[in-house]
Structure 1
Amino acid sequence: MEHRLSSIPRPPVYRIVLLQLILTVLSASLAWLYSDVAAYSALLGGLTCALPNAYFVWRAFRYSGARSTVQVVQSFYQGESWKFVLTALSFAVIFQRVEPLNVLALFAGFITVQLGHVASAKIANL
């Protein structure tokens, strides 16, 4: 009799990051219809959401399995903490260094990509 370990498949979280990068490009492209400044502002806003989230995904899903429970929990907490720090630092650098800046386009890009999480449940089920 053969004993097999069952494992829970990892969620396709990298698809969510890919969706966020696509939404970043789309929001920047739409903003480009308005102006170049709006386009790069929307691009920066989208990247301010997508890149810290990509770091979180990489950090949080490094470990799996019952024997790695402590590492899984620590990875999630550390990933979420660094995601917050990276997002705050990104906004700080953008507001300090980028000029001219279209603040409305920046936040529109950020919020558009952030709302990509709403669609992520459908993507995770693919």
Structure 2
Amino acid sequence: MLRLVSLQLMVTVAAGVIAALLGGWAAMFSAVFGGLCCVLPNAVFALRLFANTKKPGGADPISFFIWELIKIALTVALIYATALLYRDLNWFAMIGGFIVALKSYIFLIFRH
């Protein structure tokens, strides 16, 4: 799970570089912020899930679903905060960075 989060972070940086080449600084920051809206909640979820596996009883399904709900709420909150706080937001680049980070697990599937 942590390998997936690190891959998402690397893909987010790559999406930011491509957005910078195509649309300038505002597009780069928008793509990176969009990717971070996916990476940060996934990192929180992965760390919490890892901590739950170390408990004596192991991870239970209820905590999985609760943390999944928290991950979704955190994603929505980060997207809302980005839209509210970053004035030069390029929506196309932000959604592109989000989707690229969200679908980066496909690289891990095809790697083997």
Same fold (TM over 0.5): yes
Work out the CA distance in 2 between the residues paired with 1:109 and 1:83.
Answer: 18
The within-5 A match list for 1:30-109 is 30-33=18-21, 34-64=23-53, 68-69=57-58, 71-109=59-97
Whether 2:105 is the aligned partner of 1:117: answer: yes
> What is the CA-CA distance between 1:77 and the residue it aligns to?
1.3
The aligned counterpart of 2:7 is 19
Contact map agreement 1:60 1:72 (CA 8 A) in 2: no
SS in 1 for 2:52: coil
Tell me the number of residue pairs that the alignment of Structure 1 and Structure 2 aligns. 111
- Cα deviation, 1:21-80, whole Å, max 9, x if unaligned, reads 001100001111120000000000000001101111111222338x625x4323311220
Contact map agreement 1:56 1:83 (CA 8 A) in 2: yes
Identity of aligned residues (%): 32
Work out the CA distance in 2 between the residues paired with 1:79 and 1:14.
Answer: 16
Q: Which amino acid aligns with 2:77?
A: L
| Structure with max Cα Rg | 1
Q: RMSD over aligned Cα, in angstroms?
A: 2.0
Contact map agreement 1:59 1:75 (CA 8 A) in 2: no
The unaligned stretches of length 5 or more in structure 1 are 1-12
Higher relative contact order (CA 8 A, sep 6+): 2
